[in-house]
Amino acid sequence: MTFRSGVVAVVGRPNTGKSTLVNALVGQKVAIVSDKPQTTRRSIRGVLTGEDFQIAFTDTPGFHKPRSMLGRRLNDLVSSSVQGVDALIQVVDAAAGVGRGDAFVYASQVRAHRVPKICAVNKVDRVGHRDLVPQLQAAADLGEWDEIVPVSAKAGTGIAVLRRLIADALPEGEPLFPPGEVTDQPLEVRVAEIVREKALALMREEIPHSVAVTVEELEREDGLVRIEALVLVERDSQKGIVIGRGGSVLKAIGTAAREELELILDQKVFLSLRVKVLRDWQRDPAALDRLGF
């Protein structure tokens, strides 16, 4: 039996559903998901191992016109993530319409690479057949593709087909990761991302972009994982919003994060959250370095 393996970068403009698609392809949650643009801030590796293949998916931040130093660094991260991969997937949004932003991503991040290229036309569950056809044509017009696949990452439509096409496009090779591994993210990073995801779900307006999370302490005891994490914001007014009246919002964030972490770790979790102001961290090179961006 021929075994195929390789690294596949998943790129696209913000909010096309890249993280949801990676989770669907891997078969479990490895990347946080929200409806806020720029939710993904790191290259996240999700690993899928089949009988005759192993695919290491790299989920990347949405490529966009940056307004801050963080935005520029996220774009740089996308550019570095597409280097040396074995295949590329560009995700476009059929519901919002394929347009100039997608053409910008293709021209700057996809076109030059001489590897198999697949366009995943996502969110087909939200458009009728008559409206889908022009979106598939618009996707085809972006550039040269080996495959164009209509999918719904949320509903599961087309996922099995896309998975097989990716596996068949990879070179022959040995597995890159142990068979049971589904992500290469350190536990501290996964914890911080899950806390941030729960914060994003409760935040509105400019707050989501200003939130970052770091894990200060993580200790495993008998049957218990103790975690202390810091929720960072950029201004004092934001701190009050994240904490909420009587600590209600921070408590809701912590409860939702703890429940998910207990499912992932299969252990009881004690999660302590504090909120701290780190002024204008998105524009501060030293702060971005410290936060790992």
Which helix (H) or strand (E) element contains residue 231?
A: strand 224-233
The tokens describing 75, both together, are 């774009």
Share above pLDDT 70 across residues of the chain, in percent, rounded to a whole number: 99
Q: What is the pTM of this model?
A: 0.89
- Residues contacting residue 275 through CB under 8 Å, at least 6 positions apart: 230, 231, 232, 233, 239, 242, 243, 250
Instruction: Determine contact, residues 11/18, Cβ cutoff 8 Å.
Output: yes
pLDDT at residue 255 tops 70: yes
- Range 4-169 has CATH code 3.40.50.300: yes
Length of the chain: 293
For the segment 228-235, the average pLDDT, to the nearest whole number, is 96
CA distance 49 to 161: 16
Q: Is residue 244 packed enough to be buried (19+ CB in 10 Å), middle (13-18) or exposed (0-12)?
A: middle
Q: What is the pLDDT of residue 146?
A: 98
Q: Assess whether pLDDT exceeds 80 at residue 36.
A: no
DSSP string, 40-92: --S-EEEEEE-SSEEEEEEE-PPP---SSHHHHHHHHHHHHHTTT-SEEEEEE
- Looking at residue 206, its pLDDT comes to 62
Query: Which string of b and e fits 131-142 if b means at least 16 CB within 10 Å?
Result: ebeebbebbeeb
**pLDDT tens, position by position, 47-76:** 999 999 999 999 998 888 888 898 899 889
146-155: b or e for each residue (b if 16 or more CB lie within 10 Å)? ebbbbbbbbe
Please give the CATH number for the structural domain made up of 187-290: 3.30.300.20
Residue 17: its pLDDT value, please?
95
Domain boundaries in the chain? 4-169, 187-290
Confidence of residue 229 (pLDDT cuts 50, 70, 90): very high
